[in-house]
A and B are shown apart, each in its own frame.
Chain A
Amino acid sequence: DARVTQTPRHKVTEMGQEVTMRCQPILGHNTVFWYRQTMMQGLELLAYFRNRAPLDDSGMPKDRFSAEMPDATLATLKIQPSEPRDSAVYFCASGHIYEQYFGPGTRLTVT
């Protein structure tokens, strides 16, 4: 079964520290999405890539968040510096034309 993988699964860090989350999309998928899920806001789209090129990152706080796709097998989401309000579950999803398949998520806690 092809799956999206994400690392780490859990991350606890102190305010001000850099956080890097990684995602390996399903082989052959050319679109990668980053979402954030909180109880208050639900699923929010942060950024997405097509053929490794960033298409839209308007959902991200630009001053502290950055998303990249250095190659077809790796997408990264960085937060620097992290803040307590960034505590959430971050999901990566990959797809081809219509369907999107989600990874298991990274649960981030910023203290």
Chain B
Amino acid sequence: GENVEQHPSTLSVQEGDSAVIKCTYSDSASNYFPWYKQELGKGPQLIIDIRSNVGEKKDQRIAVTLNKTAKHFSLHITETQPEDSAVYFCAARLTTDSWGKLQFGAGTQVVVTP
């Protein structure tokens, strides 16, 4: 089955700086890579996703990059703000799983200090 590793487990950044979270996956058959943001006491919120036929995708201050050869993908947050503080999860979905099952990383606690 698919295995997703996520690094770092915690990330502290100054407001205005950039944050980068990296994930690696094991199965080259994976074709869909979402990122979720989870604030305290809430459910994970889908913030951006990328499919295997695309190398990069941006949405305002967040971007995701995918390197299929190396089997890793990253989340980039620019100009961080205190409201970006949360736990971020990456995930991967196998092409062979037509029902949409996701394998999640362990999460990254991001703290943005003013």
Contact = CB atoms under 8 A, between A and B. Distances in A.
Contact of B93 (A50, A93, A98, A103): A98
A16 B84 CA distance: 40
B104 A100 contact: no
Interface magnitude class on chain A: 20 to 34
Contacts of A48: 99-101
Contacts, number: 47
B79 to A, nearest CB: 26
29 contacts: A4-B43, A31-B99, A42-B104, A42-B107, A43-B89, A45-B101, A48-B99, A48-B101, A50-B99, A55-B99, A56-B99, A56-B101, A95-B100, A97-B100, A98-B34, A98-B49, A98-B93, A99-B34, A99-B46, A99-B49, A100-B46, A100-B102, A102-B36, A102-B43, A102-B44, A102-B45, A103-B43, A104-B42, A104-B43
Interface of A: 4, 31, 42-43, 45, 48, 50, 55-56, 91, 93, 95, 97-105
Interface of B: 32, 34, 36, 42-46, 49, 51, 89, 93, 99-102, 104, 106-107
